[in-house]
Structure 1
Amino acid sequence: MHPQPDLEPACPTMTTSRDVVIVGGGATAVSSFTQLAATLSPGDSVTIVDPNPVGFGHAFGTSDPLLLCNTSVDVTSLRADDGSDLLDYLSSRGWPAHPEDFVPRYLVGQYCRERYQESRRRAERRGVRIEHRRTRATAVRRDGTGYTVELTDSTALFATDVLLCLGLDRPVLPEPVRRHAGHPALLDAPYPVDRLRGLPRDAEVLVLGTKLSAIDAALVLCRDGRRTVMTSPSGELPAVRTRLRRPERPLLDADRWQRLAPGAANLDREVARLLVEAVNRADRPLPLREQTSPADAPAPRLERELALAAAGRVPWQDVVAEVIDTINDWTAAWPASTRADVLGRYRTVMSRYISAIPERNARLLAGHLADGRLSVATGYPTSIEPEGPTSWRVEWPDGRVEHFTHVVCGTGFQKPQLSLAGPGRYRIGPAEPGAAVPEITAELRLREPQHPEADRIWVVGAAAHHRTAIVNYLNAAAKQAARIAAQFAAVPV
């Protein structure tokens, strides 16, 4: 793959080889590369475009052993076929892992990096050229027989095929602090956690959010004794689980689920019935009311749900992997607006149970709550205003005023944005006002409205969120990558 100056495409009049550009270098990109590489022939090329080292993406690029995956080894794998490639990797290196384990995220980063290097060496021995361009892509445009991938360094790449494996790397700034972006005592995300570890030991920190990234922030901050307050509109912490893995036998009635129409009057009742039936098919069936805590306050609810998980009284957890796959399949053909409307009604349940936290993290949080280092406030502050370079004045809905030295946003990340910026040109990043969103076909290819054919531009993982409901799940991205690799193998360039 060769850079082209001044964004001028270098489209040959005829090509007998594939020039593949993969935009992104995290776990989704590595999954795509390792599965795609086996379909390529001598003379083909792959260029990965990402400013960071390949394999060390945002999700797994941390080096802090405190931070765990919230999915088990069984489904945290670059391949989604039988068995777990991650388990094989860990076992071969002497790590005493089990399919149900939640391992430190840095281990998954190492796994991704090594699998990429192994696959790259095999491909290069077969005559496939591999390159890593440490920059960002801003757009892809259709040009003659192929595509031009525009880069931030004012160069471009010719491609016969493009895979967009964009990660979640743009933090969501909540409205109360949005206008204070760039303030030295405002961290827009917990990552990299070196920034949190670098705060003074006597810092008093307000963490906005109570879900996964906010919990990561709280664990790092409280470990060193900093007083930390977490807050969100709901004040709810996720549920607690001891595993998230594929079931040994089906628990969901997937056929009945797929027949449910999004506009059906009895939809919510039927979804609830199917979920309850699935949980009741688990190995240790229990009434749902005995699997959760009725407590309203975050601390006692966490304690109770931690005790239930430790006692093995949460069979709901064994349905989650199936639910994710079923929801993704069920809603794949829906318009994005319909999917958002229907799934929005289940947002609370999905965020608590699909994104539940490992038992170990729950135990650490409970300890910090009991010791007084951590507290959880229900309801967002009415105002968050800086008073100086390391001072914030925070007013709560009941009129109380507190002062913090730092504010950390643990409110998640924006999904990657793709839009049309003219005929045959797909923009990567925030869209211009009024810009149209391209269609994502059943084959995960981009298609421009009114254009007769889908482009040879595929979206994988988070980039496919307009067609895939739950994208922050490596198993789902690995399945998508396998589908795309099968298309490459079946259809020559």
Structure 2
Amino acid sequence: MGKHVIIIGGGATGVSLFSRLSGLTGISSLSLVDPNPIGLGTAFGTTDPLLLCNTSVDVTSMDPDGESDLLRYLAGRGWPVHRDEFVPRYLIGHYCRERFLARRHEAEQAGIRVRHHRSRARIVRPLGSEGYAVELADGRRITGTDVFLCPGLDRPVVPELVHDHLGNPALTTSAYPVEGLRRLPENSRVLILGSKLAAVDAALVLGRAGHRAVMASSSGSLPAVRTRLRRPDTPHLDTDVWRGLSPHSPSLDREVARLVLAAVAQAGNGAPLHSQTSAATHPAERLAEELDIALTDRAHWQDAIAEIIQAINHTSAPWQHTVRGAVLHRYRHLISRYISAIPVRNARLLLRHLTEGSLAVAPGLPQRVTPSRDGSGWQVRWDGAPAEHFDHIVCATGYHKPALSRLPDGTLRLDDDSAPGGDPYVSGELQICDPRTGKPERVWVLGAASHRRTAIVNYLNTAAHQAKAVADRFTAASAEATPLAGRLA
């Protein structure tokens, strides 16, 4: 009997894995669990052409090797694109959706049964030699021999500042879907909590509709500006030295800085980093200067970013989860400003709203927010300043990483931060392991769910590399062991 595979999560990561597994022999059925249409998750399920992907076509592909598969897809449909371009996110959703439909057809033609369960997975329960049972939020239960956890990021982080006001109609807990922002009353004054990618999207949508907005975050800093994010034609990083870095070395920060600066210098033919960034402290002035640097092709740091992401992921993969988190926390400025930089088009639009006065960036979060007595919005108090009135508040402070806890009997609970149990151990091959024996189970984690093993997961190129490696490992493991019996309930 062949394998019965369950993929939890139908976004870009899940489709990338499905595309790999659907062409393998020895699989009888493939089940996908996701409440949304396959391919259209939080990141790429939008329909608004205003929202751009902040990674270029070259690295936004479900195939990590060779020419971008996304480039081939778009070119085949008449889109005049280049590997460096940033395309609307809805096109990535269409790409994922169409690739899924094509691979599903091929799998069904080969005799593989494919099903999509429109629900959320809550529990993965081991069944011994029979495999695993996945319990869904709607009460159903499906079983299979192998489970792949590929959930996306869909639980927004709600700042403590507004926790007591959840449920207030004048509070939006996530910038997505942006249709909610488009329904605000005309000429609203909106407080956006956050200043990074989701906050930029919210500001652009609100600005287009003629609203006035203030972005507020603890950093008071906007992302850097780039014209591309591509894989380098020739390497800039000393990967041998990167592999030897230890998180416990007292010289780690100095070594990382040296390696990054050397890579940036090589990418820019020796141009110093200070000439590639702005030192301005005012957000609008800094944005204007960095936009000019990017447009005049002086932002050479951007050509080292793809390698830096891969080096961080590979180097830190063996580190203990908590140690990796502590190290990454020290580099959060590098990650939030440069790894998560914005395209020049978004920078131009933001700068226009800032210079016209319809958008402002506050240097810090408010001290307190309270609903207005007449129910018309919010009174927002800043430290040492009088209260201001806002009609609406939007949380744009990111998403929680997928929660995963393991009970003593091996049961895995998904997306439940309050669940008892401990963090499951994830192997270097991205498999959940039995904590007593260390033996890998037939449960894999990919994409956002792999954050216990992978540093930077919110990046399709990372997920594509993982899907390829996991599919290879799945094939090897299947060849080594007698297939488990399994069935779909």
State the TM bucket, normalised to the shorter chain: over 0.9
* 2:348 equivalent in structure 1: 363
Partners of 2:407 and 2:420 within 8 A in 1? no
Q: Deviations over 1:121-146 (max 9, x none)?
A: 00100000000010111010110220
Partners of 1:140 and 1:148 within 8 A in 2? yes
* 1:61 equivalent in structure 2: 45
CA distance in 1, matches of 2:330, 2:242: 17
Deviation at 1:435, TM superposition (A): 2.3
Are positions 1:72 and 2:56 aligned together?
A: yes
Partners of 2:57 and 2:84 within 8 A in 1? yes
Partners of 2:71 and 2:81 within 8 A in 1? yes
Are positions 1:30 and 2:15 aligned together?
A: yes
- The one-letter code matched in structure 1 to 2:114 is I
Deviating more after overlay: 415-424 vs 431-440: 431-440
Of 395, 399, 407, which residue of structure 1 is paired with 2:385? 399
Deviation at 1:491, TM superposition (A): 3.1
* 1:114 equivalent in structure 2: 98
Of 54, 58, 77, which residue of structure 2 is paired with 1:93? 77
Are positions 1:438 and 2:424 aligned together?
A: yes
* 1:102 equivalent in structure 2: 86
* 2:447 equivalent in structure 1: 461
Of 113, 116, 119, which residue of structure 2 is paired with 1:129? 113
CA distance in 2, matches of 1:91, 1:313: 29
Are positions 1:424 and 2:410 aligned together?
A: yes
* 2:201 equivalent in structure 1: 216
CA distance in 2, matches of 1:276, 1:437: 36
- The one-letter code matched in structure 1 to 2:326 is D
- The one-letter code matched in structure 1 to 2:37 is P
TM-score normalized by structure 2?
A: 0.96
Deviating more after overlay: 357-366 vs 427-436: 427-436
Q: RMSD between aligned alpha carbons? A: 1.1
Partners of 2:405 and 2:420 within 8 A in 1? no
- The one-letter code matched in structure 2 to 1:450 is R
Deviation at 1:433, TM superposition (A): 5.8
- The one-letter code matched in structure 2 to 1:319 is A
CA distance in 2, matches of 1:180, 1:320: 39
Of 386, 397, 402, which residue of structure 2 is paired with 1:411? 397
CA distance in 2, matches of 1:432, 1:232: 27
Are positions 1:141 and 2:125 aligned together?
A: yes
Of 330, 333, 355, which residue of structure 2 is paired with 1:348? 333
Q: Deviations over 1:142-194 (max 9, x none)?
A: 10220011111212111100000011000000011011111101000011100
- The one-letter code matched in structure 2 to 1:88 is R
Instruction: Describe the SS at the equivalent of 1:71.
Output: coil
* 1:279 equivalent in structure 2: 264
Q: Deviations over 1:206-230 (max 9, x none)?
A: 0000000000000000011100000
Residues 319 and 373 of structure 1: CA distance in aligned 2, closer, same or farther (over 3 Å): same
Deviating more after overlay: 31-40 vs 324-333: 31-40
Regions of 4+ moved over 6 Å: none
Are positions 1:242 and 2:222 aligned together?
A: no
* 1:11 equivalent in structure 2: none
Q: Deviations over 1:287-338 (max 9, x none)?
A: 1111111111111000000000000000000000000000000000111111
- The one-letter code matched in structure 2 to 1:87 is L
* 2:321 equivalent in structure 1: 336
TM-score normalized by structure 1?
A: 0.95
Partners of 1:22 and 1:46 within 8 A in 2? yes
* 1:166 equivalent in structure 2: 151
Partners of 2:12 and 2:39 within 8 A in 1? yes
Are positions 1:481 and 2:467 aligned together?
A: yes
* 1:256 equivalent in structure 2: 241
Q: Deviations over 1:438-470 (max 9, x none)?
A: 000011011131145211000000000011000
Partners of 1:77 and 1:85 within 8 A in 2? yes
Deviation at 1:482, TM superposition (A): 0.4
* 1:314 equivalent in structure 2: 299
- The one-letter code matched in structure 2 to 1:134 is R
CA distance in 2, matches of 1:356, 1:258: 26
CA distance in 2, matches of 1:254, 1:214: 34
Partners of 1:24 and 1:164 within 8 A in 2? yes
- The one-letter code matched in structure 2 to 1:21 is I
Deviation at 1:283, TM superposition (A): 4.5
* 1:449 equivalent in structure 2: 435
- The one-letter code matched in structure 1 to 2:97 is R
Are positions 1:84 and 2:68 aligned together?
A: yes
Are positions 1:197 and 2:182 aligned together?
A: yes
CA distance in 1, matches of 2:75, 2:270: 32
Q: Deviations over 1:53-109 (max 9, x none)?
A: 001111000000000000000000111111100000000000001000000000000
Partners of 1:285 and 1:315 within 8 A in 2? no
* 2:285 equivalent in structure 1: 300
Partners of 1:31 and 1:481 within 8 A in 2? yes
CA distance in 2, matches of 1:488, 1:337: 28
CA distance in 1, matches of 2:36, 2:361: 35
Partners of 1:18 and 1:159 within 8 A in 2? yes
CA distance in 2, matches of 1:489, 1:444: 14
Partners of 1:183 and 1:389 within 8 A in 2? no
Deviation at 1:343, TM superposition (A): 1.4
Of 33, 36, 42, which residue of structure 2 is paired with 1:49? 33
Q: Deviations over 1:359-403 (max 9, x none)?
A: 110000000001111000001100011115431000011223110
CA distance in 2, matches of 1:399, 1:279: 42
Deviation at 1:434, TM superposition (A): 5.3
- The one-letter code matched in structure 2 to 1:344 is H
Are positions 1:384 and 2:369 aligned together?
A: yes
* 2:486 equivalent in structure 1: none
Q: Number of residue pairs matched?
A: 477
Unaligned runs of 5+ in 1: 1-15
CA distance in 2, matches of 1:17, 1:344: 44
Partners of 1:206 and 1:404 within 8 A in 2? yes
